[in-house]
Amino acid sequence: MLAATVTTARNGKAWVPAINTGSTTARLPNKKELGTWVPVNDDMEILSMSGELDASRVSQWIDDLGDSATPLDDEKEVQIGVEEPQARVLVTKSLRVYRKLTRNMGDCPPATALDVHHHIDTGYSAPIMLKRRRQAQMEDQIVDENVTKMLGAGVIEEGNGAWEFPVVLMRKKDGEVRFCVDYRALNMVSKKDVYPCPRIDETLEALGGILLFTTLDLRTGYWQIRVAPEDQDKTAFMTRRGLYKFVRMPFGLTNAPSTFQRMMNGVLRGLTWVTCLVSLDDIVAFTSRGIERHVVELANVLERLSQAGLR
């Protein structure tokens, strides 16, 4: 995977970062086309990389990126913590340019545009079948409602494999009931992926001394990653309506956090620990150099998410 990046060509050659998001070695044939090179606008390069920023120049730069005039559908609900009117205008205009990232996509956004799949390596383990647990009629109705919603969103499909795990309903602190599948038996036979998530102490240390920050939260982030076709049967669960399998990555799998964090680190490579931090589907874009710089750096993060097809 190649992320969008700014580089300098010297003697007809340019270096670009690449990441292998899979679990196997990838070889690139000689002269294979990997992407498209386009000249960088001088103002964009200056605004993105160095120099003192002027609010009027940043505003013009945002206008050049896209439609910054048409209000968002839910613009009145956007919470901007800065009081200065000019600063609020800059932030609002940058969000308008990337409106597709905030547009309501229903219960589940489309899958990421990246070639990222969650794999479940169970080695030579035999298929596991755990019978459906008896539930109250009201609980069965909640399960049916969740199944209907996930089918409509393209998160699950009807299954016919040899794997089966029970559904459990978990009540959250706010009283909301969450649909879950008990994958503990599957996790015990799955080969572990030890890709790390950021340490809390390192994250807090990196945020020390910042002046401004913006928090972003992906919508149902796990469901934006596909399950590898050969492993979808292993996610199957039974309800009174039949057997279903996940085609998008569900919660509860032992390696799901590693898959998600690896993808996000690849998407934001070069920006993390410099102008943003990411922990699973939570992103913090930050700066210690004023609102103009923050708006430019926030736009860089939004552009990466946009190119990756994440919402």
State the pLDDT at residue 59. Answer: 72
Query: pLDDT tens for residues 214-223?
Result: 888 888 888 9
Most distant pair of Cα atoms in the chain: their distance: 71
Residue keyed to tokens 């393209």 = 154
Q: Report, as an integer, the average pLDDT of 201-211.
A: 84
Dump pLDDT digits (tens) for 138-149.
Answer: 899 999 999 999
Structural domain includes residue 100: no
The structure tokens listed for 290 are 């004023």
In a domain, 83, yes or no: no
Task: Kindly state whether residue 133 falls inside one of the protein's structural domains.
Answer: yes
Token output for 286: 């930050």
Classified as helix, coil or strand, 22 is coil
* Element counts in the chain: helices (H) and strands (E): 9, 10
Query: Which H helix or E strand runs over 95?
Result: helix 85-97
Measured between alpha carbons, how far is 209 from 225 in angstroms, rounded to an integer?
35
Closest CA to 141 of 175, 108, 177, 182: 177
For residue range 97-132, list pLDDT tens digits in order: 887 777 766 667 777 878 889 999 999 999 999 988
Query: Tell me, what's the pLDDT at 39?
Result: 61
Task: Name the DSSP letter for residue 141.
Answer: H
> Does residue 108 fall inside a structural domain?
no
Strand 237-239 relative to strand 226-227: parallel, antiparallel, unpaired?
unpaired
Closest CA to 117 of 249, 7, 16, 239: 249
Tens-place pLDDT, residues 255-298? 999 999 999 999 898 888 988 999 998 999 988 877 888 888 88
In a domain, 204, yes or no: no
Tally of domains within the chain? 1
Domain assignment present for 127: yes
Tokens of 284: 């913090």
Determine the structural domain holding residue 151 and report its residue range.
Answer: 117-195+222-253
Tell me, what CATH number does 160's domain have? 3.10.10.10
